[in-house]
Amino acid sequence: MTELEFHKNEDAFKLLCSRLDLKFAKVKQGGGEKRIAKQHKQGKLTARERIDFLIDKDSYFLEFGGFAGEGMYDEVGGCPSGGVVCGIGYVSGRQCVIVANDATVKAGAWFPITAKKNLRAQEIAMENRLPIIYLVDSAGVFLPMQDEVFPDKEHFGRIFRNNAMMSSEGILQIAAVMGSCVAGGAYLPIMSDEALIVDKTGTIFLAGSYLVKSAIGESIDNETLGGASTHSEISGVTDYKCPNDKECLTQIRKIMDKVGDYEKAGFDRIEPSEPAKNPNEIFGFFPTDRVKPYNMLEIIHRLADNSEFDEYKQDYGKTLLCGYARIDGWAVGIVANQRQIVKTKKGEMQMGGVIYSESADKAARFIMNCNQKKIPLVFLQDVSGFMVGSRAEHGGIIKDGAKMVNAMANSVVPKFTIIVGNSYGAGNYAMCGKAYDPRLIYAWPTAQIAVMSGASAAKTLLQIKVAGAKAKGQEMSEEEQQAHLQKIQAKYDAQLSPYYSAARLWTDGIIKPLETRKVISMGIEAANHAPITKRYNTGILQV
């Protein structure tokens, strides 16, 4: 790579990161300045202010689902961050999942994506056996979309099912009612282990005063019906009555600082070291032009402690890199796509980013080894898919690909996925896409997730359109074909955006490359709370 190419890559990548910062700054405004001011006037902190006060000073908060709902509900005014802020943070020195309703967004009402995001938060807590803290301030289901939130298996009711499951498994749940907590949502804090309520602003009831009046004719105000005094002195529903938000959050910290130690999975960690090679050089080595080759080893060396990477089967299956490293002191096994041009045994040149039979075979065996040695797996995705064509089919690409997918899917050590570039087709699956239960899955601003690239999809769909027209005895002119091609590709390219994926929680979020080490480290630390109890078995496909 020339110095000019390096600087062009660097400028393009940093521009994408600047766009990420601007978009996320807007998301953090929630419902906007007027609604934030209204929240303050009521004596309440915002969701993000509550989290900032709750977590340990100067500690890192790993947010997930920050772009949830992005562009999905514009017709009703939008739903920034899905109306709820979620992440992993440290409270009194203990890692916890934190879920905070954002009352500046439609009074904290639940959209379909809100339910999905809350379920993701509970999933992270359950998989890693992390305590979970709910900061409740929600008006309940967004009624115009109730049919997409209420009745199905992965809808609102699943939250309470998970409350019960976590309770039975000994996973600590703490709920603080800091605003509205109504209807079915009223069960969440009471199904938690300990419940707090803020005086004068927190209320809990199955039906508010207006509904009570219409249903049974009783006239009563909300405070008397379900305020802090009612539930702390009469019903006994809550355990702690707090005068304001800050005292409530301080009480949670006091609860957490007395929680006993946890049983550990036992993943290996030594004193962390920074990469020997400058991590900032990632911006220059990684091309934003996704057809240009690059050496993934340059990226790995800038993520790994001391820039050390012990490569497994270095000269075999070169379009996948497998090897051992440490990230922030944690031992990891890395499986990464290689988009560099490499030579085969026959001297042929082939473009990386495609998984070949020998690459899949290597990865399957490496994944088995990591499970044998209890080493967490990190997948760095920049994959176009599996190789196609007669030579690949005759060589057994389906069989070898199935072995890799099987080994990965049955892995019992925690898996973490970072999508750095392409994530296309079955390559997404083999490299531990969302469907394969990575503990965390984040994307760089350069990521794209789809069945295939926009250009390939557009050409394929155009061929089908032209063939359909011919079958009807019609001919599409060159101009019509180009117009149709551009229309298809524009729509497809919009769906390739990492923000489109993050909005739908196909990923947990979008991060800058320099955040990658911290994300993986915090993920493994969380996973270390959950001892491995399941035996590794690849199932019917033997590798």
pLDDT in tens, 304-317: 999 999 999 999 99
More confident residue, 74 or 539: 74
Task: Give whichever of 117-131, 347-361, 384-398, 448-462 has the largest mean pLDDT.
Answer: 117-131
Tokens 């005292």 sit at which residue? 247
Q: pLDDT value at position 233?
A: 94
The whole-number average pLDDT for the span 158-180 is: 95
User: Of all residues in the chain, what percent carry a pLDDT higher than 90?
Assistant: 73
How confident is the model over 357-401, as pLDDT tens digits? 999 999 999 999 999 999 999 999 999 888 877 887 877 788 888
Query: Taking all residues of the chain, what is their mean pLDDT, rounded to a whole number?
Result: 92
Q: What are the distances in angstroms from CA 175 to CA 28, 122, 194, 333?
A: 23, 13, 6, 37
pLDDT 10s digits, 14-39: 999 999 999 999 999 999 999 999 99
| Per-residue pLDDT band at 48 (split at 50, 70, 90) | very high
Decide if 93 contacts 57 (C-beta within 8 A). Answer: no
Burial of 522 (0-12, 13-18, 19+ CB in 10 A): buried
**Contact at 8 Å (CB) between 532 and 265?**
yes
| Count of C-beta atoms within a 10 Å radius of residue 131 | 22
Residue 264 class from Cβ within 10 Å (0-12 exposed, 13-18 middle, 19+ buried)? Answer: exposed
Residue 262, pLDDT score = 93
Q: Mean pLDDT over residues 334-340, rounded?
A: 92
Q: Which is more confidently placed, 343 or 422?
A: 422
| Model pLDDT, residue 348 | 53
